[in-house]
Amino acid sequence: MIVDFALIMFVALLATGLIWALDAAVLAPRRATRHAALVAQGADGAVLERSARQPIVVEYARAFFPVILIVFLLRSFLVEPFRIPSGSMLPSLLVGDFILVNKFTYGVRLPILNKKIVSLNEPQRGDVMVFRFPDNPSDNYIKRVVGLPGDRIGYRDKQLFVNGKAMRREPALSTSDAGDRFMGAKQYVEDLDGAKHAILLSPNVQQEPMEFVVPTGQYFVMGDNRDHSNDSRYWGTVPDENVVGKAFLVWFSWDHSGSGGVNWRRIGSAIE
């Protein structure tokens, strides 16, 4: 089950805001009137203090409302954190990486409704993009954009073609340990028209040749771990309305291999 944190935060924001507003408009004036009456009656200090005190629920609402509002606005319009749960983006992203996603680089969208209200940049070939899975929008996926609207994408013999042009790849000069997690996988550097990034290919995994034309307003995405990624080759393209944002930074990483622990080398690394 996927938890929609944006919806939870919106409900919490609405609840705390309504409690604060109700207190300011109705309850606080009543307390002030009652307090004034007790003063006129000569009530002792303890009684007066209790009569002026805010209910505990109002105190919490006043304390949490501005915090929830700031976090909600940051997550909705600026940056949002995500965790990498699978190896489909190896070697670029590891299982256990915690990343930040730029929410406004592709435009401003209304939270909850996910409707774009201001268009800015469009996704570019080579971008690492987070999006809502077309077949189940409650799931967030992360893949690399390889096809733009109108592109003809081909994939045969583990070679990517864009509009009939083979995207050059070369064996990586230096490799990470990502290939060890998929026995026999080899690491390459692929050049997507100037956007260079690492990919993994498993020679023992075969795939039928494929060719697609990317519809208007949609994007073709693939995982960098080419032979172990559930992507546009199998379920189609990503509509623009499903786009969440562009991944740009690993802010924390927990190494799930071996004995585990914090992967200090990856913290603060840019996502390319």
Tokens of 266: 């990856």
Q: 47 in helix, strand or coil?
A: helix
Name residue 110's beta-bridge partners: 115
Q: Known catalytic residue: 165?
A: no
Name residue 159's beta-bridge partners: 156
- State the amino acid at position 126 in one-letter form: G
CB 144 within 8 A of CB 197: yes
Angle at alpha carbon of residue 202, lines to 142 and 225, rounded to 5° = 10
Residues shown for the chain: 272
Sorted by sequence, the CB contacts under 8 Å of residue 57 that are 6+ apart come out as 19
What angle do the packed helices 5-22 and 56-73 form, to 10 degrees? 140
* Given 143, 229, 232, 253, the catalytic residue: 143
Containing 28, the helix (H) or strand (E) segment is helix 28-41
Q: Known catalytic residue: 138?
A: no
Q: 32 in helix, strand or coil?
A: helix
* Given 76, 88, 92, 229, the catalytic residue: 88
Pairing relation of β-strands 210-213 and 107-110? unpaired
- State the amino acid at position 189 in one-letter form: V
Look up tokens 């592709």; give the residue.
106
Look up tokens 């089950």; give the residue.
1
Cα distance between residue 94 and residue 88, in whole Å: 9
Look up tokens 């303890």; give the residue.
46
Active centre residues (catalytic): 88, 143
